[in-house]
């Protein structure tokens, strides 16, 4: 049921508190109690220090994010899934952080950064200007502002889609005293027109027939092409300047280690201050409360003695209504199955740890869903490789071990069903064929019945567990009148079905009576929580409806057959396609091998995912639903949450 937890209190002198907090974090087995009600009211010193630390963290953010972006460590595909933090000792971290002249570096960095930003902005604006002016290169009127000065004339620029520019020209030609020409072509033709004031309405008139758009004239000085070339020159010198300063900025990435260490060091400071806020303080001492597994108490004592002699560690009595956190601890070989328990949530402190109960079922079901000896072997090899080659986090390690267990079960099921990379029967050696007892493809009904039988087994087992849970929680009425009654009722139905299937007459006769008695008992007992007799009776009657729930649960286990079949069939299709290309000249064999490997790899990945998800679902929905109450809180050891480092 997990480790017994001890509630403890640590009393330390103020200036040793930081060291104590670091030791607790290093231990990784101490849960800090941060209940607001135990803290003393607003420690102004703490608060100012916290806001100072947070201000500094904010100040270093620009250089930190610049370095994050431009000095990334190259990471392989698989490394992308792993924890990127580097191990470091606290003293090295502190030294790096404290020796770094952050304020000077920050000053010059901010200067350069701002310069680069404004240069980049000017660069972009200039580029946009050039792009616009390029279109006006052939505009024939220089010093056009002079033209605007005329009283009776106006200068307009319009653009017309290329297709109708001919029509547009024809319309313009109809007008007298109208000067026009086109000076730019791409998708549109752009025309300038010089016309008399009183002719302005002419364009409005033809706008119905011909869709044109007015264009604004951009600003330049003097001759367009001359102006453009000065712009180009300006752009060149700006680009050179920008390159130079960008290089300068990039040199700041050499400070990566120091900046990242500073960030994490400040984070540690911040956490220490926040924790001391939760602590109870007197004039000279601070007290911290927390939970620790009983077998680690001695270790904590030694650890604290190393910090200072005067630190007191004492056990605290737990109040009756107090909610303990739940510390799940199993023998190493069962730990991989804790993944499933963690997904569902913590059992409440009075319940059993369900990890051991689900383990055998999980393995068998996983094997049945994957059901190919070749895949099982590949899974074991891949998981083993990942464990050896990469530094996996504890969760990842558990998952790989789970896959190894699953792989073994898969090999066994694969041998029984004759699946070896879904290869055809004729290729297999005869001793393997003799081991093949079941054939899911050609005889799915047998596999279906086996899946359902396994389902019934797990559900009945769940009922038994609920019986023992109720006894453990001293709910004797519930144990006998709910768990035991349902267990007997369901078992008798199972016996009856088996009996009628095997045509054993006496079982059919006897158990049909047993079932009727069972139903009667249910009607009488299931409504016992209701107030009056009529409600009791009806509740009991309605409780028989739960039978359909159990039926649904049993049928849910048919997915074991379905998943096993689909992975086998997809494998067969991969082999079929690989066989088809064998005839190609020269590349045929290579192509076959490629299709075989990648096809089965893909099928392996998809089938493993499906096997994991559906097997887990069967445990959590159909199995846990029978006995698991939950509502507990997992033990959460106190840890610093750093971005770049792990303290060792």
Residues that bind another protein (CB under 8 A): 339, 342-346, 441-442, 444-445, 448, 548-549, 551-552, 555-556, 558-559, 561-563, 565-566, 613-614, 616-617, 620-621, 624-625, 628-631, 633
For CA atoms 59, 64, 69, 71, the dihedral sign is positive
Nearer to another protein, 154 or 633 (CB): 633
Q: Which is nearer to another protein, 195 or 326 (CB)?
A: 326
d(CA 273, CA 17): 10
Least Å distance, CB 339 to another protein, is 8
Query: Least distance to another protein from the beta carbon of 391, Å?
Result: 21
Q: Provide the minimum distance between the beta carbon of 300 and another protein in the complex, in angstroms, as a whole number.
A: 27
Between 189 and 466, whose beta carbon lies closer to another protein?
Answer: 466
Q: Cβ(575)–Cβ(425) under 8 Å?
A: no
Residue from 545, 487, 493, 483 nearest 514 by CA: 493
Question: Phi/psi at 528 (nearest 5 deg)?
Answer: -70, -15
CB 620 → another protein: shortest distance, Å?
6
Overall size of the chain counted in residues: 648
Residue 24 class from Cβ within 10 Å (0-12 exposed, 13-18 middle, 19+ buried)? buried
Query: 561: number of CA atoms within 13 Å, CB side?
Result: 23
Per-residue burial over 589-612, b if 16 or more Cβ lie within 10 Å, else e, is eebbeebbeebbeebbeebbebbb
Q: How far is the CB of 625 from another protein (least distance, A)?
A: 7
CA dihedral 48, 54, 56, 61 (to 10 degrees): -170
Centre a 10 Å sphere on the Cβ of residue 579 and count the other Cβ atoms it contains. Answer: 13
Q: Strand (E) positions, 372-530?
A: none
Q: How far is the CB of 629 from another protein (least distance, A)?
A: 8
Beta-bridged to residue 286, according to DSSP, are 12, 281
A 10 A CB-CB count for 582 gives 12
Instruction: Choose between 530 and 633: whose C-beta lies nearer to another protein.
Output: 633
Lookup: tokens for 5: 């937890």
Residue 211 or residue 630: which is nearer to another protein going by CB? 630
Residue 536: CB atoms within 10 A of its CB come to 18
Q: Which is nearer to another protein, 225 or 446 (CB)?
A: 446
Going from the C-alpha of 639 to that of each of 21, 25, 263, 344, 503, the distances in angstroms are 9, 5, 16, 23, 64
- How far apart are alpha carbons 626 and 466 in whole angstroms? 7
- Cβ closest to another protein, residue 487 vs residue 627: 627
Structure tokens, 280: 């109870």
Look up residue 545 and give its two tokens.
Answer: 């409806």
C-beta of 555 vs 576, nearer to another protein? 555
**How far apart are the C-alpha atoms of 465 and 483, rounded to whole Å?**
9
Please say which residue, 346 or 386, places its beta carbon nearer to another protein. 346
Q: Which is nearer to another protein, 491 or 566 (CB)?
A: 566
For residue 546, the minimal CB distance to another protein (Å) is 11
Cα 311 to Cα 30, 133, 302, 530, 551: the distances in Å are 17, 77, 11, 57, 61
Closest CA to 464 of 482, 481, 487, 485: 487
CA 288 vs CA 40, 76, 255, 445, 639: distances in Å: 12, 43, 37, 63, 15
Q: Nearest distance from residue 459's CB to another protein, in Å? A: 14
Residues in CB range of 78: below 8 A, 6 or more apart: 386, 390
> Least Å distance between CB 95 and another protein?
33
CA dihedral 95, 101, 103, 107 (to 10 degrees): -140
Least distance CB 444 / another protein (angstroms): 5
Radius of gyration (Cα) for the chain, nearest Å? Answer: 39
User: Toward another protein, which CB reaches closer, 414 or 564?
Assistant: 564
Q: Which is nearer to another protein, 84 or 630 (CB)?
A: 630
Q: Specify the residue, 407 or 440, whose C-beta has the smaller distance to another protein.
A: 440
Q: Min. distance of Cβ 291 from another protein in angstroms? A: 18
Question: At its nearest, how many Å lie between another protein and the CB of residue 362?
Answer: 14
* Closest distance of CB 618 from another protein, Å: 11
Nearer to another protein, 109 or 571 (CB): 571
CB of 534 to another protein, least distance (A): 26
């Amino acid at each position: 049921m997990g480790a017994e937890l001890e509630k403890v209190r640590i009393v330390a002198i103020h200036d040793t508190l930081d060291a104590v907090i670091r030791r607790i974090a290093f231990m990784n087995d101490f849960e800090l109690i941060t209940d607001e009600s135990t803290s003393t009211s607003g420690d102004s010193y703490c608060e100012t220090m916290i806001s100072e630390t947070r201000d500094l963290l904010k100040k270093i953010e620009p250089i930190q994010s610049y370095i994050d972006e431009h000095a990334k460590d190259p990471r392989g595909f698989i490394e992308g899934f792993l924890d990127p933090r580097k191990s470091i000792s606290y003293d090295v971290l502190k030294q790096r952080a404290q020796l770094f002249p952050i304020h000077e570096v920050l000053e010059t960095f901010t200067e350069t950064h701002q310069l680069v930003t404004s240069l980049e902005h000017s660069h972009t604006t200039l580029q946009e200007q050039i792009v616009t002016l390029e279109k006006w290169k052939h505009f024939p009127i220089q010093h056009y502002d002079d033209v605007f000065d005329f009283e009776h004339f106006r200068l307009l620029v319009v653009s017309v889609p290329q297709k109708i520019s001919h029509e547009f020209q024809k319309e313009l030609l109809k007008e007298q005293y109208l000067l026009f020409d086109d000076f730019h072509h791409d998708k549109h033709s752009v025309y300038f027109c010089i016309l008399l004031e009183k002719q302005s309405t002419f364009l409005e008139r033809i706008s119905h027939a011909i869709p044109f758009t007015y264009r604004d004239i951009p600003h330049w000085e003097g001759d367009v092409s001359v102006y453009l070339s000065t712009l180009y020159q300006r752009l060149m010198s700006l680009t050179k300047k920008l390159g130079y300063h960008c290089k300068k900025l990039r040199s700041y990435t050499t400070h990566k280690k120091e900046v990242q260490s500073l960030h994490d060091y400040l984070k540690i400071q911040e956490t220490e201050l926040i924790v001391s806020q939760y602590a109870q303080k007197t004039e000279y001492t601070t007290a911290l409360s927390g939970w620790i597994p009983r077998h680690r108490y001695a270790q904590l004592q030694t650890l604290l003695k190393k910090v200072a002699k005067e630190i007191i560690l004492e056990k605290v009595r737990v109040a009756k209504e107090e909610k303990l956190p739940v510390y799940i601890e199993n023998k190493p070989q069962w730990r991989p199955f804790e993944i499933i328990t963690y997904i569902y949530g913590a059992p409440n402190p009075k319940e059993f740890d369900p990890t051991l109960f689900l383990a055998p079922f999980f393995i068998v079901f996983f094997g049945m869903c994957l059901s190919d000896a070749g895949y099982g072997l590949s899974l074991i090899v891949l998981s083993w490789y990942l464990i050896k080659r990469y530094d996996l986090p504890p969760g990842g390690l558990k998952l790989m071990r789970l896959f190894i267990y699953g792989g073994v079960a898969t090999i066994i099921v694969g041998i029984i069903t004759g699946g070896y990379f879904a290869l055809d029967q004729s290729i297999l050696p005869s001793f393997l064929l003799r081991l093949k007892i079941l054939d899911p493809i050609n005889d799915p009904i047998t596999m279906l019945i086996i899946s359902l039988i396994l389902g019934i087994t797990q559900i009945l087992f769940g009922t038994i567990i609920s019986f023992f849970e109720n006894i453990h929680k001293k709910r004797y009425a519930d144990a006998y009148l709910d768990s035991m009654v349902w267990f007997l009722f369901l078992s008798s139905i199972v016996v009856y079905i088996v009996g009628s299937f095997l045509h054993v007459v006496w079982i059919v006769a006897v158990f049909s009576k047993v079932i009727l008695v069972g139903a009667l008992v249910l009607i009488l007992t299931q409504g016992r929580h209701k107030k009056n007799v009529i409600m009791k009776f009806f509740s009991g009657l309605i409780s028989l409806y739960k039978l359909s729930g159990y039926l649904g649960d049993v049928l849910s286990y048919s997915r074991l057959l379905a998943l096993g079949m689909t992975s086998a069939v997809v494998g067969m299709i991969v082999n079929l396609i690989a066989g088809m290309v064998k005839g190609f000249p020269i590349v045929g064999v290579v192509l076959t091998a490629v299709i075989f490997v990648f096809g089965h790899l893909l099928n392996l990945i998809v089938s493993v995912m499906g096997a994991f998800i559906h097997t887990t679902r069967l445990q959590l929905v159909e199995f846990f639903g029978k006995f698991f109450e939950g509502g507990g809180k997992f033990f959460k050891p106190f840890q610093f949450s750093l971005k770049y480092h792990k303290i060792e």
